Structure 1
Amino acid sequence: MDKAKQAALAAYRGMWQDFVSAGITSDWQSPKLGQYATGIALTNLSRSLYADHYNGLVTKGEPVLNPSVSSVDPPDDPTKIIIADCGDSTHWLKYRADNGQLADNEPGGHQLINAIVQKQVDGSWKVSDYGVHDVGSC
């Protein structure tokens, strides 16, 4: 089970790392996005990047993640793992692509993130859904 937990946490971190990389240019078509995300999670990542691209925004910096496993299902041979995180977006903000200015006056901060990571048919683990709550939620 520890191996499954480690694989799920690695997929979660990998998803955000790929999202950070794509966010630098708002590359909503980045093939990397599907490496650790699938289903609703992948759709949400792509849509978010497309909206930024459409609105002339890019994202600079990196979030600070501190994920932990909150549940495994089934316990003896997990295929679904729930991750809870208190991500810090203080140094991961949106900027205007044309002039490099901050997109808004909204500071980043600590945000509760819940994610579902599922074992795929090929044995890999991918984030299938996630939710990011408001700044100050953790």
Structure 2
Amino acid sequence: MQQSADSLKPTGELPAVQTTAEAGAAKVGWVKRVELTIDRGNGMSQRSTRTAVATFAAATGLFITLSACSSGEGASEVPLATPAPLASTTRSATPADTAKQQAITAYVGMWSDMADAATTSDWQSPKLAQNATGEALQTISRSLYADHYNGLVTKGRPVNHPEVTSVDPLDEPTSITITDCGDSTNWLKYRADNGQPADDVPGGHRHIEALVKKAVDGSWKVTTFAVHEVGSCTG
């Protein structure tokens, strides 16, 4: 059956939870009491007291700075260190990346606009100029006009698999070439008067080449495209 492309080419109480801050405060108080007990009860020297406290501090994972004063003075607390945030590894989109996406959007949009208009063979549909211009727009309009003249309409939708094959220039793209293996298997022509198939030619996969350019207003539109015969690519 002939396709539109043919004409174109997550019980009980929970135990109380001790917060990190409470646990840290309890540990600091414990270390201070140990220091006082060692200093007053055992008569250890200031140096020994410092050594013992440092040992306990290391065991509890706390960061403590001892004051260099007379025996019996407690340790002063130092806030826990805060890890520095990790550097972001997200790469900003380049002008070429943005252009590629815009060009593909315009290309797929062109076929979608055409499929909408082809349901009634509306060759004058204003939607056709949304994503196509120049020769591409003329080709689509002529194809739909021919279907209108012959009493044909197209049902279904084409399936596209576009890929960018070239970008020019790379720093500030204005022209992008796209290749596609379009599938028109379920996008076929029928007679408008009785709904019967227009012919017995099946649809299929067709190789398509298209040129998409950036307009003065910054939009991207397909300017030319060519559709090859059924079987010219595999989806």
Tell me the TM-score normalised to structure 1 length: 0.99
2:208 alignment partner AA: I
Which has the higher relative contact order, 1 or 2, with Cα contacts under 8 A spaced 6 or more apart?
A: 1
Residue type at the aligned position of 2:223:
S
Specify which of 83, 88, 101 is matched with residue 178 of structure 2.
83
Q: Which residue of 1 aligns with 2:97?
A: 2
Paired AA for residue 68 in structure 1: E
Q: In the alignment, what sits opposite 1:64? A: 159
Letter of the 2:155 partner, please give it.
K
Runs (5+) with no aligned partner, structure 1: none
Q: Which residue of 1 aligns with 2:203?
A: 108
Question: Which of 110, 114, 139 is matched with 1:15 structurally?
Answer: 110
Alignment length (residue pairs):
138
- Tell me which residue corresponds to 2:212: 117
Report the residue type matching 1:15 in the other structure. M
Aligned residues with identical type, % of pairs: 69
Structure 2: gaps of 5 or more residues: 1-95
Alignment correspondent of 1:34: 129
Post-superposition shift, 1:56? 0.4
Instruction: Give 1:127's aligned amino acid.
Output: V
Structure 1 runs of 4+ with >6 Å offset: none
3-state SS of paired residue (1:46): helix
Aligned to 2:223: 128
Deviations 1:41-70 (A, max 9, x none): 000000000000000000000111000101
- Cα distance, 1:91 vs structure 2: 0.2
CA displacement, residues 4-58 of structure 1 (integer Å, 9 cap, x when unaligned)? 0000000001100000000000000000000000000000000000000000000
| Cα distance in 1 between the residues matched to 2:231 and 2:209 | 15
Quote the offset at 1:76 in angstroms: 1.6
SS in 2 for 1:26: coil
Q: Distance in 2 between matches of 1:16 and 1:48?
A: 13
One-letter amino acid matched to 1:58: V
In 2, Cα distance between the equivalents of 1:107 and 1:50? 22
Superposed CA RMSD in Å reads 0.4
> Rg bigger for which structure?
2
